Amino acid sequence: MDHRTVLLAFLCFLLVTVRSEVQKDFSPECREFMYMGTPPRGLENRSLKKICQRYNGKPRYVTLYDVVDHIPVYSAYTFKRSDGFKKVDVPWMFEPQLSTASDSGEMQPFPPNDVHDSFSDAQAVLEDYSNIVDFERGHLNPDEHQAHPDDKAATYTLTNVVPQIREFNVGHWKQHEHIIRRRLNNYCRGKAYIVTGVTTSGRMIRRYNTDRVAVPTYLWSSYCCIDYDHNAPFDERSKFPAFAAYGLNEKEGAEVTEMSVQQIEDFLKKNTFVDKRFQIFFGNCEPNDAIMAGQT
């Protein structure tokens, strides 16, 4: 029995014996971060783990995490109105739910380096992002889309970040996050649900001659807000109840393109491993009286 088989067997043991939030299916309290309590469908793979990201006693958002590529495939969260500028000073955290060294069900600050190997098979560690020039740790659930300090702090786990080219991370993608924050702040009257994810094509960050962390080819994001301002300017009103965008994770040619949710789904069907059933939001975020009654 090889090391990976032993690790997977032990992880299964942990899931049964400790208060873990790596779930076969998301629990009701974790489904609140997804429109109609429904995660994106058409993403099935044995290496993908559903994580309810918990911090300071509460679930904060959910992530579909690839324990082989060591990156999130997507993070799904509810948008919180904020000014976008207040930051929190917290250490980077790891996910004990994927660890063989902790019995905690909540994200925790990284322990001393000498115990990182106890969970580095299943997730990225700080060393994977050290001594690399081109990439930064780019959030899928960005802190500027959260308001409460604990919700902001919860975004600083490596299970919520991917390697982003620095120029893209601080440039076009950051500007896109600003645009979405302002749009939802101004015109979304109810709850907004956001799913942000990646596509990859085999490029990896390597450490000690080993493939460690997949580098996204594209980042994409979609939001859904069925209760919006119908008197908003047409240019903004036309982007409700749902809209989407994607950008190329490169230094050049990395402009972010906005499009309909249907268009982003078609794009992803051609550029990543989603199947023909792939759907980001239940019912394509198309409101009707029954749905709107359930959201109020």
What residue segments make up the domains of the chain, in order of their start? 41-293
Specify the pLDDT at position 115: 62
Please state, in angstroms and rounded to a whole number, the distance separating the CA atoms of residues 127 and 117.
11
pLDDT of residue 270: 92
Q: Write the pLDDT tens digit of every residue in 28-55.
A: 999 999 999 999 999 877 789 999 999 9
State yes or no: pLDDT of 150 exceeds 50.
yes
Mean pLDDT of 156-161: 97
Q: What CA–CA distances, in Å, run from 138 to 23, 71, 171, 275?
A: 25, 11, 12, 26
What confidence tier does 198 reach under pLDDT thresholds 50, 70, 90?
Answer: very high
pTM (predicted TM-score): 0.88
Is the per-residue pLDDT at 10 higher than 60?
no
Report pLDDT digits (tens) over 244-285: 999 999 998 889 999 999 999 999 999 888 888 999 999 999
- Could you read off the pLDDT of 240-254 as tens digits, one per residue? 999 999 999 999 888
Pair of tokens at residue 138: 């780019």
Helix (H) or strand (E) holding 54: strand 48-55
Distance, C-alpha 258 to centroid of its chain: 19
Task: Please give the torsion angle defined by the CA atoms of residues 293, 58, 24 and 263, in that order, rounded to the nearest 10 degrees.
Answer: 50
**What value does the mean pLDDT take over residues 78-91?**
89
* 216 close to 199: Cβ distance less than 8 angstroms: yes
8-state DSSP, 254: -
pLDDT of amino acid 131: 83
Assigned token pair, 227: 């209760």
Q: Where are the alpha helices (DSSP H) in the chain?
A: 3-17, 28-31, 149-153, 166-170, 172-187, 234-237, 261-271, 289-295
pLDDT band at 185 (very low <50, low <70, confident <90, very high): very high
* pLDDT for the residue numbered 17: 31
Percentage of residues in the chain having pLDDT higher than 90: 70
- The number of residues making up the chain comes to 296
Q: Which band of pLDDT confidence, cut at 50, 70 and 90, is reported for residue 114?
A: low
Does CATH place domain 41-293 in 3.30.565.10? Answer: no
* Cα–Cα distances in angstroms (integers) from residue 238 to residues 70, 229, 255, in the given order: 37, 11, 21
Residue-level pLDDT at 244? 98
Which residue(s) pair with 214 in the sheet? 204
Rounded-to-10 torsion of CA 280, 281, 283, 284: -70
CA angle centred on 48, ends 47 and 51, rounded to 5°: 135
